Structure 1
Amino acid sequence: MHLLYKNSILLFYCVVLFVNTRLKQFSKTVMIAAISPADINYDETLSTLRYADRAKQIKNTVLINEDPMESLIRELKAENERLKKTLNSAELPSSVVVKGLTPKEIEDLKNQMRKEMMEQMETNLATIEAQNQAAFDEKLRQARLEITQQTVELPKKSGDSRISSKSKPYLSNLNEDPQLSGIIIHVLSHKQTGIGREPPSESQSNEKSKIFWIQMKGLCMVDEHALLIRHGKTGAEVELRALPNAVRMTKVNGVTVKNSVTLHHKDRILFGSHQLYIFHNPLSKEFADESKSGMEPETIDWEFAQRELAQATGFEQFSNKPRKKEEAILQQQLLELLPMVNEVNAIADELNKQRTFEVILLPPTAQALKYGESKRTKVMVRMICTNTGQMCLWEREKFMTRRFLMQDMYQKSLSKQLEDYLQESDPFWEPLEDLFIGIAPAFLRALAYRLDVDEELKIMDFVGDELGTINIKLIPCSASNSKSALPANNASSNKKDDVTFIEDPRELIGKPYSFKIILGSLNLYDSEQNKHKYTVYYRIFKESELTAAKMESNKLHTRLYSIDQITHEHLDYFHSEFICFMIYCSQFEKDVKKTFDVYSPAPLLSRRYSRLSVEELDDISKLKTELTILQRGLDSFSKKDKQLDKLYKSWANKSSSADNFKLLLEDVHKLVNMKVPSINLSTALEKKTND
């Protein structure tokens, strides 16, 4: 029924009161009044115009919708600002009478007022901090109260129409967005509850197995995925049983459920690739103990669960809290990337692409960084073809791009719109490239003393395991004969330059310097792998481009590196850095799996990288350099001894004249001033012991 507002006295006054209230609360008011020239609407038009005229006389009062506590904090901050301005001013406030006071009394008065103002500011700051903490505590208490009082609605056919989430065991979801965590709750009100993507129909379930099914869709979910079984009279003990087709796809606290497991309060359960839930058991002893303790319960969120999954996978970075900013960034990147890798693995499995993906940590020691460049561990993704064993490494950005294409392909397959892809358009396809298999670090400390480096370096993979060796020589040479000193590719490199050894590397500053890089034979412990072609990449100092050296049998890679003028940076580079020789191996279309079994994912489950191995090699290189310097010193002492003996024999039969004595003194002086190389070996040994 349509009722004009003027025909109802109560409705009319309610409308007038509401409009008046609204008009008085805001500083700006816009009214739209409909009037009609028709005589039948004369009364309505006249009434509207009269009210519009009255509305002009209403005075607007601006009210700020502000919390009293926030208002108090704002006033305290304003007072603090006023006090700061007063403190910065050298004059006393105008309200203070200083007539008749001496300069000393005025200064004392200023100091007294400054002290009072400082105390007032400190009091205000303490009050602001206390109010902020009180506001936070109150909001936190209200949020927790809402969570504890939340209830779960169930269909009437399942029993009660409304059951408290505290009365029975239940599952609550975890989401990357904290606001969406705890929104989905499944109460385990039946003796047996099934989880599945396409469970049996309700009639079949009730007639045959008496199982109440919960439908969960998503990647790696099977039709009948798992069972949650309540045991005992009260049903306090809950067993999670992974069904045969979902054994690999069900995890509790990051650990795969092989058959069945008894759940405990606040266990984390992963169904499929991303269905993540927390198990709550109000009937358990753990819940009762937690309630009695009165302590704040442990916060379990999406990040906590992802850390747990990563640690169970083998990432040791999550065993402790990050101490440095770089470690925190690395953990954050892993937490972001690991769920994506799991998702992509699930998509590849669903589409039968015969691909597996895993996260690889590439340490700074394996990146051949420029000198002075920030050293950070790089997070990369490795794709492995399970059919051929071919591998490739993707940067994080490239993986993210491919992931979007894979998701699009999967969605099209679900909607039956997936068309045949060209090989180049398939996000799971990658052309064959040389495979990065390991590094061989060559330390440069000996070059600072103009000593040769002649090493058979160990080739280490990502986890620090030895794969083989490579012969490397670094030979200092003089600027005059540096080019002629380079050997031919197939010539022997035993010839050495006549370069003077120096005791103090600082003698090199401001002088030109050159040294040769000679790469010899490369041998891997697996004889089958020696049949492949290898390329070694390396960078010296601040070179913008990597140098590529193709390793061929019976041929040497030689290169001359020259420095126009040695600086302190070069000396620091020699003492603290190394040349990272990165070894790449060619891949073939066929029979790759047999060759690269050593690089299968199994050895990489520990997810550690060989920082310790590089440090040990550095210590060995340091000791070798110091041993060489000591040997040079011993040779100098031996040379002195021989010259002293020669000097004795030459002067034994000469007459004792003043002239002869003067000549003898000059010879002795030359012998005494001969430099003998020395080094404090105990310092290095002490450092190694402390490490």
Structure 2
Amino acid sequence: HATLNNSSDKVTLTPQNGAKVCVNGREVVQETLLNHHDRVLFGNNHLYVFDNPKAAAPSPSPIPTFEAAQAELAENSGVMGLLGDKAKSSKDMLLMDDLVKLYPQVQEANAMSEELDRRVRFELVLMSPQGRGLRENEGRTEVYISLTNLDSGNEFFWSKDKFSDRKYLMRDMYQNYMEGESWKLPQEKDPFWEPADSPLLIGTCHVYLQSLAYLIEVAESFSVTDFRGEDQGKLEIELRPCDSEWRELGEEFSEPDDVIGQAINFKVKLNKGHDLSPKYAAYYCQYKFYLEDEFTRTPEASKAVNPQFKFEKKYTFKPVTKQLMDYLQNSYIIVELWGRQKDSGKKSSKTTKELMQGDKPKQGAVGDSRPAPAGAAAASAEAKNLKSELDTLKQKSERNEQKIKQLQTLVNEARKSGKDVLQVDKVDKILSATAASSARPVVNKGGKGGAAAAGGGGKSGSSATKAEEKRSEAMGKSTSAACSIQ
């Protein structure tokens, strides 16, 4: 790896061409003077402390520990940049400890891949709970190891435990290679190999459920983002409130308090994806709703770019509890998009070393100059929640306006026919309906009981006041919602 020269009690180190040598955590490429207790790394695994008794200080300083030298290497590699600002919490300290321990192991795995020409590259990446398909409070950010096939470009993610198990097998393979023994293994036993069709979490989208609490449908294309915060396409998803016969409700809504204690029926539809990456041979989606322990999963769709899932699941809750209503108003389902990558079968004429030199680190990985934005996932979730609330308000506003138009039609027809009496149950039906009604407003031609006369008194006047209060309430909600949206 290097040539050491001692001249007049001064020791210098000169790296050989192409050899990796680090002094005090930094790679050196030219002749370097070594000082007492300098840390010297040859390659990826041979770490030493340089001891020069003649240059030692009168009061001896403690010998640097192996752990301190590893931390120094990790810090100078840029691995700590993955944490963003200074790590302060206990979770950050655990994360830092994982990074310091795993960094030299990843370097070792890359060195073995290069020497054995295994055509893969390993990198450290950080995955937040949201990036793994979890909620923000369901765990901590963890270190994963990204494996990139340098021929196909396919990327996979290994947990720390899986990487550790594979690394021991890599060492056995490398040791056999160094001893001149038979070292090549069948593909299915090769520790550097990962099948192209291994399921890969492409990304997730959050579908907020607030609209269901008002019996308002959702039909939208939701953006799918990966753990790096990058857009991976869209999923067309619908939430459809239904009646007891599974007919989809129309242009009305109900207040959440009115739904509690009643039955609620709705469908969750995962229709299709679009603008997805063509690198995948098949896709499927999965999610959990409310108290479900198991994932609900769609069939696999093999059409590239725009897969058709055509999936539908019906849900019935009878009666609706306050707990369920709180869930609908304040929570969301996480829809995960999974894929199986294509195996091109192509192999470059370049060596692993040449391919590594031309392969840039992925965003958010060690060595990348563009770390994933801190808090991006939280900001994205907040934006999606706000959008869901605005969509719900907008639909409530539109439906309140429709009620007002129906009431206006009722009044106009009464005036045209010279009548001054409106049938209370028809007015109440317009104001209180929770399902679409195609019935035309009916004008009562007489001033009989059960009708409210304009300007009348007694019970009729009370009913008219009640109807007017509901109408005013509807108008107030419409105006309030419209102002909120603006």
Which of 5, 16, 27 is the aligned partner of 1:256? 27
| Residues 112 and 174 in structure 2, CA contact (< 8 A), matched pair in contact too | yes
Matched, 1:274 2:70: no
Flag the 1:451–1:641 CA change in 2: closer, same or farther, 3 A. Answer: closer
2:393 equivalent to 1:630: yes
The 5-angstrom pairing of residues 328-407 of structure 1 reads 328-369=93-134, 374-407=138-171
Structure 1 gap ranges (5+): 1-221, 486-495, 686-691
Q: What are the Cα deviations for residues 562-601 of structure 1, in whole angstroms up to 9, with x where unaligned?
A: 15354555455542444132231422142488xxx99963
* 504 and 548 in structure 1: CA distance in 2 versus 1, 3 angstrom threshold: closer
Contact 1:353 1:428 in 2 (8 A): yes
1:415 aligns with 2:168: no
Counterpart among 468, 471, 495 of residue 235 in structure 2: 471
Give the CA deviation at 1:472.
1.9
User: Superposition pairs for residues 542-691 of structure 1, below 5 Å?
Assistant: 542-545=292-295, 547-551=297-301, 552=303, 555-565=308-318, 566-567=320-321, 570-571=324-325, 573-574=327-328, 575-591=330-346, 601-605=361-365, 606=368, 608-609=371-372, 612-631=375-394, 632-633=396-397, 635-636=399-400, 639-640=403-404, 643=407, 660-662=456-458, 663-674=460-471, 675-676=473-474, 677=477
CA distance in 1, matches of 2:249, 2:360: 45
What is the Cα deviation at residue 439 of structure 1?
Answer: 0.9
1:514 deviates by 2.5
Please, what is the CA RMSD of the aligned residues? 4.6
Residues 678/353 of structure 1: CA separation in 2 closer, same or farther (3 Å cut) = same
Tell me the amino acid that sits aligned with residue 477 of structure 1.
Answer: P
Letter in 2 for 1:666: S
TM-superposed CA distance for 1:503, in Å, is 3.5
- Does structure 2 retain, via aligned residues, the 8 Å contact 1:239–1:261? yes
Query: Aligned AA for 1:450?
Result: L
Contact 1:477–1:499, Cα closer than 8 Å, also in 2: no
Aligned residue for 1:533, secondary structure, equals: strand
AA at the equivalent of 1:673: K
Post-superposition shift, 1:283? 10
- The equivalent of 2:221 in structure 1 is 456
Q: Secondary structure of 1:441's partner?
A: strand
Instruction: Output one character per residue of 1:331-378: Cα deviation in whole Å (capped at 9) or x when no partner.
Output: 333333222222222222333323322233332213334x79832334
What is the CA-CA distance between 1:473 and the residue it aligns to? 1.9
* In 2: Cα distance, 1:426 partner to 1:654 partner: 88
CA distance in 2, matches of 1:399, 1:425: 14
Quote the Cα distance in structure 1 between the aligned partners of 2:252 and 2:67: 60
Q: Indicate yes or no: 2:15 matched with 1:242.
A: yes
In the alignment, is the contact (CA less than 8 A) between 1:363 and 1:609 conserved in 2?
Answer: no
Distance 1:679 1:543 in 2: 42
Change (3 A) 1:564 1:300: farther
Q: Which is strand-richer, 1 or 2? A: 2
The 1:455–1:601 alpha-carbon spacing in structure 2 relative to 1, beyond 3 Å, is farther
| Cα displacement (A) at 1:672 | 0.8
Change (3 A) 1:618 1:602: closer
How far the C-alpha of 1:319 sits from its partner, in A, is: 5.7
The residue type equivalent to 1:621 in the other structure is K
CA shift in 2, pair 1:448/1:300, >3 Å: farther
**After the TM superposition, which residues 126-141 of structure 1 pair with which residues of structure 2 at under 5 Å, given as runs?**
none
Cα deviation per residue 1:248-267 (whole Å; 9 max; x = unaligned)? x2234544334466778876
* 1:432 alignment partner AA: A
1:498 partner amino acid: G
- The whole-number CA distance in structure 1 between the counterparts of 2:478 and 2:261 is 20
The one-letter code sitting in structure 2 at the alignment partner of 1:242 is: P
The C-alpha deviation readout for 1:460-506, integer Å capped at 9, x for no partner, is 33322234x22322223225243xx6xxxxxxxxxx53374234368
TM-score, normalisation: structure 2? 0.70
1:501 matched to which residue of 2?
253
CA shift at 1:614, angstroms?
A: 2.9
Instruction: Determine helix, strand or coil for the equivalent of 1:340.
Output: helix
Residue type of the partner of 2:466? H
1:192 is matched with none
Go from structure 1 to structure 2 and tell me whether the alpha carbon gap of 1:451 and 1:313 turns closer, same or farther (over 3 Å shift). Answer: farther
Q: Give distance in 1, aligned partners of 2:126 and 2:287.
A: 21
AA partner of residue 555 (structure 1): Q
Letter in structure 2 aligned against 1:448? A
Query: Residues 418, 645 of structure 1: CA spacing in aligned structure 2 closer, same or farther, 3 A cutoff?
Result: closer
Which residue of structure 2 aligns with residue 530 of structure 1? Answer: 278
Aligned amino acid, residue 98 of structure 2:
Q
Q: Which residues of structure 2 form unaligned runs of 5+?
A: 349-355, 422-446, 448-452
Output the CA distance in 1 between the equivalents of 2:389 and 2:62: 54
- Scaled by the length of structure 1, what TM-score is found? 0.51
Change in Cα spacing, 1:318 to 1:523, as seen in structure 2 (3 Å) is: closer
Amino acid at match of 1:603: Q
SS at structure 2 position matched to 1:516: strand
Structure 1, residues 197-236: CA drift from partner, whole Å, max 9, x if none?
xxxxxxxxxxxxxxxxxxxxxxxxx3xx255788xx995x
How far apart are residue 559 of structure 1 and its match?
A: 1.7
The secondary structure found in structure 1 opposite 2:18 is helix
Q: Which residue of structure 2 aligns with residue 519 of structure 1?
A: 271
Q: Tell me, yes or no, if the aligned pair for 2:126 and 2:364 is still in contact at 8 Å.
A: no
Preserved contact between residue 238 and residue 270 of structure 2 (Cα < 8 Å)? yes
Instruction: Verify the 8 A CA contact 1:537 1:583 in the aligned structure 2.
Output: yes
Any residues of structure 2 matched to 1:420-439 within 5 Å, and which? 420-434=184-198, 436=200, 438-439=202-203
Question: Given that residues 286 and 335 in structure 2 are in contact (C-alpha distance below 8 angstroms), is that contact kept between their aligned partners in structure 1?
Answer: yes
Within 1, Cα distance between the matches of 2:113 and 2:384?
Answer: 46
Identity among equivalent positions (%) equals 22
CA contact (8 A) 1:539 1:547 kept: yes
Task: Give the deviation of 1:273 after TM superposition.
Answer: 0.9
Mark the CA change 1:600 to 1:472 in structure 2 (over 3 Å): closer, same or farther.
farther
* Higher helix residue share: 1
Q: How does 1:13-32 map to 2 (within 5 A)?
A: none
Change in Cα spacing, 1:345 to 1:509, as seen in structure 2 (3 Å) is farther
Q: Secondary structure at the match of 1:660?
A: coil
Change beyond 3 A, Cα 1:234–1:393:
closer
Report the Cα distance in structure 1 between the residues aligned to 2:189 and 2:172, rounded to whole angstroms.
Answer: 12
Deviation at 1:433, TM superposition (A): 1.9
Cα offset for 1:546?
5.3
Letter in 2 for 1:564: F
Q: CA deviation at 1:644?
A: 6.9
